[in-house]
A = this chain, B = another copy of it.
């Protein structure tokens, strides 16, 4: 019996794959974005700002990735969670670094969150699509189904 927690997380290689793929997808869509990838603890691993991406998106991408690692949900699921509770709707949205609209998605292995990708610069739908492509690239298929990951 151990007193320790084993926190699996993505590292730099996975994060770079996520950024590269997200940038490639955003390029094909013609949407210049900022992409941030954080580890399981919410700390930044890799980042890329495409030429012409809005400067305002720089921090939002970081915050979307952080929000996901910090609570576990994709950012596009947040609004449904709070919209019928006025106190939350008006009160929690101002929480530092919390983003309640699409563009932040988890990187998971066997259902476990091991990192997160945040994208900002396009519409929330575009941002989400781009972030999901990045998250999928972060952890190769063979790993997420292999069962014996450590």
Does A100 lie within 8 Å of B95, measured CB to CB? no
Name the distance in Å between A29's Cβ and chain B's nearest Cβ: 16
Residues of B within 8 A of A12 (CB): 23, 48-51
Does A6 lie within 8 Å of B3, measured CB to CB? no
- Number of this chain's copies in the assembly equals 4
Q: Which residues in chain A, 14-55, are within 8 Å of chain B measured between CB atoms?
A: 14-17, 23, 40-51, 54-55
Does A140 lie within 8 Å of B1, measured CB to CB? yes
| Residues of A near any B CB (own CB < 8 A) | 1-17, 23, 40-51, 54-60, 67, 69-72, 76, 78-79, 83, 85-96, 98-102, 109, 114, 124, 138-140, 142-143, 146, 149-150
